[in-house]
């Protein structure tokens, strides 16, 4: 079976890895990975076209549950075990942080945590923390002047490790070829003839094909803060949008993200930058001495339903609309794509089908 994946950001990468995970060493399978950028980008995420690479990597099925219907919530919870298994398969245990997620609010906003709990699904997973519990879990936050709770069943993917190890795994596989090329609309008809399957995972760049796709902007800053010692992500409840402070390793943190209904790709507005910095400082005063390493923004590919979707067009499968849940819902979508290829292309049961339902995406 010859497969072309167009777009090796988050979803395309998950599809490629899932094919290899499920087929093992099947010599009949070849995967050509087309991407507008080379596989080894500079360690800095500054110039990336993949929003997956600049994401915070949060696996927050509970904190995000107010976005989800019941079925999507169940799918999102499964992502935690998926990523744990993937980190084992990639032999990268440090990529997966399963210490849970803290939820914080200001001292003068005591109603925020009860309201947050009331709105979420699976609220029994959320517990308020006493000072003693906090001292054991996250001693560096003991001087924080506010309220804190814990969601112990949430997790985090350390993005730099995931991209580094998955790139190595793909490049070292004789069945996989990386082709650094920007695929145009015209190229797709040639690809359709040359391959059994073409998987279109271009994220927001597929807007010319999916007319209802829109971008929702997110801003994020990366800081080096050696005096802050956090071992798990913190979600700070904020009147406009929650802001996350996420440890990504080597004393680095990402602080994000804004949620702006705009496809603007100009530099961050001072107001939004101040929101991010102010929240980090409110959580831990040592952020005032941190070094701002880089500032990023990206457009989350979003469909009108707010949910991801798969479009089945002959031997071309287009998947998109992961919005702010690429790490949570991407694995289910990737598994479904792999199942679709197995059902139609070969009698050999290459791939394990799964239950995520495909729906029609508007053109």
Query: Which lies closer to ligand FAD via its Cβ, residue 49 or residue 361?
Result: 49
In the list 77, 232, 235, 325, the residue contacting ligand FAD (rule: CB under 6 A) is 325
Q: Whole-angstrom Cα distance, residue 324 to residue 335? A: 19
Least distance to ligand FAD, CB of residue 218, Å: 3
37 binds ligand FAD (CB under 6 A): yes
As beta bridge partners, residue 77 has: none
H or E element in which residue 200 lies: strand 197-200
- CB nearer ligand FAD, residue 8 or residue 19: 8
The residue (of 111 and 311) whose beta carbon lies closer to ligand FAD is 311
Q: DSSP character for 124?
A: G
Per CB under 6 A, 202 contacts ligand FAD: yes
* 3-class SS string, 29-55: CEEEEEECCCCCCCCCCCCCCCHHHHC
- Selected from 19, 20, 29, 55, the binder of ligand FAD by CB under 6 A is 55
**Is residue 321 within 8 Å of residue 331, measured between CB atoms?**
no
In what helix (H) or strand (E) does residue 243 lie, and over which residues does it extend? strand 243-249
**Smallest gap, in angstroms, from Cβ of residue 216 to ligand FAD?**
8
340 contacts ligand FAD (rule: CB under 6 A): no
* Integer Cα distance of 205 and 252 in angstroms: 29
Round to whole Å and give the CA distance between 240 and 260: 10
- Span near ligand FAD by CB under 6 A; candidates 80-88, 199-207, 277-285, 354-362: 199-207
Q: How far is the CB of 281 from ligand FAD (least distance, A)?
A: 20
17, 20, 23, 34: which one binds ligand FAD (CB under 6 A): 34
**Subset of 289-308 contacting ligand FAD (CB under 6 A):** 298, 300-301
CB of 60 to ligand FAD, least distance (A): 7
C-alpha closest to that of 179 among 75, 33, 289 = 33
Query: Does position 327 bind ligand FAD by CB under 6 A?
Result: yes
Rounded least distance, CB 183 to ligand FAD, Å:
4
Query: Rounded to an integer, what is the distance from CA 201 to the centroid of its chain?
Result: 14
Site for ligand FAD contains 50 (CB under 6 A): yes
- Closest contact distance (angstroms) between CB of 76 and ligand FAD is 9
Edge-to-edge strands, sheet with 146-151: 126-128, 146-151, 101-106, 234-236, 243-249, 252-256, 214-224, 291-302
Residue 294 and residue 314: Cα distance in Å, rounded?
A: 42
Q: Is 346 in the site for ligand FAD (CB under 6 A)?
A: no
**The only residue of 22, 30, 36, 294 in contact with ligand FAD, by rule CB under 6 A:** 36
- Interaction between residue 218 and ligand FAD (CB under 6 A): yes
Residue positions counted in the chain: 363
Tell me: does residue 52 bind ligand FAD (CB under 6 A).
yes
Say whether residue 167 binds ligand FAD (CB under 6 A): no
Q: Does 54 bind ligand FAD (CB under 6 A)?
A: yes
What is the CB neighbour count within 10 angstroms for residue 355? 12
Q: Which residue has the tokens 């440890």?
A: 247
CA dihedral 286, 153, 254, 48 (to 10 degrees): 170
Does residue 282 contact residue 141 with C-beta atoms inside 8 Å? no
Query: Which residues bind to ligand FAD, rule: CB under 6 A?
Result: 6-12, 34-37, 49-52, 54-58, 182-183, 201-203, 205, 218, 220, 256-257, 298, 300-301, 320, 322-328
């Amino acid at each position: 079976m010859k497969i072309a994946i167009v777009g090796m950001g988050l979803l395309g990468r998950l599809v490629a890895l899932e094919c290899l995970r499920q087929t093992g060493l099947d010599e009949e399978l070849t995967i050509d990975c087309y991407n507008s950028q080379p596989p080894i980008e500079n360690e800095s995420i500054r110039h990336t076209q993949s929003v997956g690479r600049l994401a915070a990597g949060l696996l927050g099925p509970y904190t995000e549950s107010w976005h989800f219907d019941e079925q999507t919530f169940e799918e999102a919870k499964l992502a935690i075990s998926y990523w744990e298994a993937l980190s084992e398969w990639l032999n990268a245990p440090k990529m997966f942080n399963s210490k849970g997620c803290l939820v914080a609010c200001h001292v003068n906003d005591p109603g925020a945590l009860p309201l947050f709990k009331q709105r979420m699904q699976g609220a029994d997973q959320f517990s308020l923390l006493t000072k003693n519990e906090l001292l054991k879990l996250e001693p560096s936050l003991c001087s924080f002047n506010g309220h804190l709770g814990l969601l112990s069943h949430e997790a985090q993917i350390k993005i730099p490790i995931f991209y580094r190890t998955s790139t190595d795994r793909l490049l070292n596989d004789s069945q996989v070829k990386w082709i650094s090329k920007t695929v145009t609309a015209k190229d797709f008809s040639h690809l359709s003839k040359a391959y059994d399957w073409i998987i279109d995972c271009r994220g927001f760049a597929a807007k010319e094909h999916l007319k209802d796709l829109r971008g929702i902007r997110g801003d994020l800053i990366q800081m080096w803060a050696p005096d802050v010692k956090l071992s798990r992500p913190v979600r700070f409840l904020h009147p406009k949008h929650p802001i996350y402070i996420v440890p990504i390793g080597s004393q680095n943190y990402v602080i994000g993200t804004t949620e702006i209904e705009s496809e603007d790709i100009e530099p961050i507005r001072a107001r939004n930058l101040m929101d991010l910095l102010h929240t980090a400082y409110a959580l831990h005063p040592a952020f005032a001495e941190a070094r701002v390493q880089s500032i990023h923004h990206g457009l989350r590919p979003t469909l009108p339903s707010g949910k991801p979707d798969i479009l089945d067009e002959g031997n071309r499968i287009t998947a998109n609309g992961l919005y702010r849940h690429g790490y949570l819902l991407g694995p289910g979508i990737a598994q479904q794509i792999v199942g679709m290829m197995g059902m139609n292309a070969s009698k050999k049961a290459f791939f394990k089908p799964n239950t995520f339902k495909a729906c029609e995406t508007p053109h």
